[in-house]
Structure 1
Amino acid sequence: MTKPLVFTGNRFDRASHLRNDVDWFKQKLEDPSSRFLPMHNLKALIELAGDPCIDWRGASDIKSFLEAGATLVFLGLADFAAHFAIDVSTIENPKKLPNSDWGKFIDVRNISSQLRPGEAGALAQARSLLAWHETHQFCAKCGSKTESAELGYSRKCCNDQCNATHFPRTDPVVIMMVVKGDNCLLGTGHHFPKQQYSALAGFIEPGETIEQGVRREVFEETGVRTGEVTYHSSQPWPYPSSLMIGCFAEALSEEITLEEAELADARWFSKAEVRKMLARSGTSETPRMSPPMAIAHQLAKSWVED
């Protein structure tokens, strides 16, 4: 790959030792060098004049949101400045921004591949954390309200009799190129764009290793048995908060028994076919791979270049 895979270029020092330093936090909220990423319904504020980039704002721009109790999370330190993300979803109409020079709120999936690797990585971190806060307003143990703690890296139950602490979770997902000789097994989902194929994927279950998860998912979806599993690379995937674990798996069988509830189709493709799919040659009717921002694309590219 000529540049880091999308969402893998996060360059922040997360400085976890500062998350309980109240004095440091108060100082950074007033520091003119501190930068804040506003997000509206999980869409990020992007500056579109010139090359797209995050429209980081200063402390004065987000003061009213903090006073209104907006969720704030600490992303980390970079360029001698503290960086934060803040949920400004209280703006009913995101076009009515506090200042006319603000950029535009854009879906992270749509803009991330156009950003520098470090900024795409920041969006993955910010979106995952704010999505977690949005869905964990109540304690899973007693049902009471929770409040943000540790600069956004935990939530504390407000019930003194419970006092449980909850932490953000990342869901591990295996995504695998199943290969046998010069052929690989790819599938397409019911909601995929027409003729777009990808590597098979699925969530790892409790008590399962990566290797076991790969073999189980491939068999469940296609009936194909696999043996040796090797790790390739990983990619944060903030929808809402997964870690894609890219692997290769050696097929022990070839016959496909499709699990129609999971996949619309699964087929074996040759290396020559996959090269054409990666290049997106032909018409929209021609089978093609998922886009370059997806780890499945990079797995396929690595396989055909081997």
Structure 2
Amino acid sequence: MPNHLAYSALNYFGASDLDRAHLRRRDAAWLSQRLQDPATVLLPFLHLKPLLSDTHQLMTLSVNELPVQDLGLSPIFLGLKEDRAYFAIDLQENHGFIPLGGSFQELWEATLPLARPQSSLLAYAKAMIHWNRQHQFCYVCGAPAVSKDAGHGRKCTNPACHTSHFPRTDTAVIAMVTCGDSGLLARQASWPKGQYATIAGFLEPGETLEHAVAREVQEEVGLQVTQVEYHSSQPWPFPASIMVGFTARAENTHLHLDPAEIEDARWFTRSQLKELMSTGEIKLPPALSISYRLIQDWLNADVEQ
């Protein structure tokens, strides 16, 4: 059996080396102490963009450089690494902080040069900041909601409600579909010219992950799949998803495309796809995506019998 924990760690954003130390989230005294500790690591974000160097390397700050308590910011505790506490900081426009030697950059564009654990750390931080930003108000009664558990929860301030809210992640499935020795790739009209990827879609209520794969494949390209197997998963903080990757076998190669979703879909043998990639006619999705990983693993595998 494959080691799926190690297998998923090969995906960008999936190689965490941080102890989330969940029991510390409610320890107010400990958190306050860590926010005064010069060894504590701060990860500042502005407009959901992390602070990176001009060469796209991770930049962190200390509490001496960014006194979060004095600035009235609400740090989000991420966890511990080598007994150093890590916090994500959502800066505001009027924070008065000007980074030296770096800038706030889109994580999507700057991920590849980062070490895998760093990409995972920033994905985690970005997802937590996004969730807190999106839940300023209670979704039950509409009253303001305040942060609790060091950013890992929010509490409605309405005494008649007091609903607790916790971070949510949108689940999406993505699959490399094969039939015999051919693999299926598809594209949407909005994608760059020549770019093809695997079939993907969001999980719906009442579905298993495998049923979601079968439904998405049937809806988008009209194929029935007979076998769905788990491959790996990937946090996807754009803005707040988890991509669950699968392989799937189709009964036949007869395609019936949904024009609202799919502009084109094609079957390729491994040799055909490699040749078209070499000429630039076909482009794969970005290397940081699990779709790229699914395709590459299929290309590198033995031809199915």
* Both proteins in one fold, TM over 0.5: yes
Partners of 2:43 and 2:194 lie apart in 1 by 37
1:1-306 paired onto structure 2 within 5 Å: 4-48=10-54, 52-63=56-67, 65-91=68-94, 98-99=97-98, 101-276=100-275, 280-283=277-280, 286-306=281-301
Q: For residue 274 of structure 1, report the CA deviation from its aligned partner.
A: 2.6
Closer, same or farther in 2 for the Cα pair 1:276/1:42, shift >3 Å? farther
Deviations 1:258-287 (A, max 9, x none): 11111111111111123345xx4224xx01
Question: Higher mean Cα deviation, 184-193 or 24-33?
Answer: 184-193
Q: For residue 100 of structure 1, report the CA deviation from its aligned partner.
A: 5.5
Closer, same or farther in 2 for the Cα pair 1:276/1:165, shift >3 Å? farther
Closer, same or farther in 2 for the Cα pair 1:90/1:67, shift >3 Å? farther
Partners of 2:20 and 2:189 lie apart in 1 by 38
Q: Secondary structure at the residue paired with 1:62?
A: coil
Q: For residue 191 of structure 1, report the CA deviation from its aligned partner.
A: 1.6
TM-score by length of 2: 0.92
Q: For residue 289 of structure 1, report the CA deviation from its aligned partner.
A: 1.3
Partners of 2:158 and 2:125 lie apart in 1 by 27
Q: Which runs of 5+ in 1 are unaligned?
A: none
Q: For residue 171 of structure 1, report the CA deviation from its aligned partner.
A: 1.2
TM-score by length of 1: 0.92
Q: Which runs of 5+ in 2 are unaligned?
A: 1-6
Deviations 1:44-78 (A, max 9, x none): 00123xx5322110112222x54444332111101
What is the aligned partner in structure 1 of residue 3 from structure 2? none
Q: Secondary structure at the residue paired with 2:249?
A: strand
- AA matched with 1:133: N
Partners of 1:109 and 1:282 lie apart in 2 by 26
Q: Secondary structure at the residue paired with 2:261?
A: coil
User: How many residues are treated as equivalent by the alignment?
Assistant: 294
- AA matched with 1:235: Q
Partners of 1:56 and 1:250 lie apart in 2 by 45
**Aligned residues: percent identity?**
37
Q: For residue 227 of structure 1, report the CA deviation from its aligned partner.
A: 1.1
- AA matched with 2:103: K
Closer, same or farther in 2 for the Cα pair 1:89/1:272, shift >3 Å? farther
